[in-house]
Amino acid sequence: DGGITQSPKYLFRKEGQNVTLSCEQNLNHDAMYWYRQDPGQGLRLIYYSQIVNDFQKGDIAEGYSVSREKKESFPLTVTSAQKNPTAFYLCASSLGQGSQETQYFGPGTRLLVL
C-alpha cells in the first residue's frame, strides 16, 4: 500500500532536548510538508520541500529544522529553541507543488513536554 508513515505516534521531550520526528512516503511525490496543529488554530506550515536537497521555511519555522536527503524522507527536528513544542505534528506530501495538488497526510505525531 502506498502512503505516508510518521513515527513515533507519541514523543516526549525533556527540557533542552532536541527530538526528531520521522516522515516517510512511498508515493513517489516530489513535494513534502510539515504542519503543526494546535487546538482551535487549524494547521500552520513549518517547512516544505519541493525537491531533494531543497527546502523552504513556512510561517512558523523558528525552533525547527529539516533535511531532505532522499525523495521519500523528510525528517523534522524540534530543537531546544522551540519553547512551546507541545502539539500534533502532521507530515504531508503532494505530487508537485502546484496550487491544484492534493496533499496526502500521515497519521501524525503527538509531541509532549515532560
Partner 1 sequence: AQSVTQLDSQVPVFEEAPVELRCNYSSSVSVYLFWYVQYPNQGLQLLLKYLSGSTLVESINGFEAEFNKSQTSFHLRKPSVHISDTAEYFCAVSDSSSNYQLIWGAGTKLIIKP
2 is a contact residue toward partner 1 (CB under 8 A): no
43 is a contact residue toward partner 1 (CB under 8 A): yes
Which CB atom, from 13 or from 44, has the smaller least distance to partner 1? 44
97 is a contact residue toward partner 1 (CB under 8 A): yes
105 is a contact residue toward partner 1 (CB under 8 A): yes
Cα separation, 55 vs 66, in Å, equals 8
In our burial notation (b when 16+ CB lie closer than 10 A, e otherwise), range 13-40 reads beeeeebebbbbbeeebbbbbbbbeeee
Which parts of this chain interact with partner 1 (CB under 8 A)? 4, 6, 40-45, 48, 58, 90, 92, 97-100, 102-108
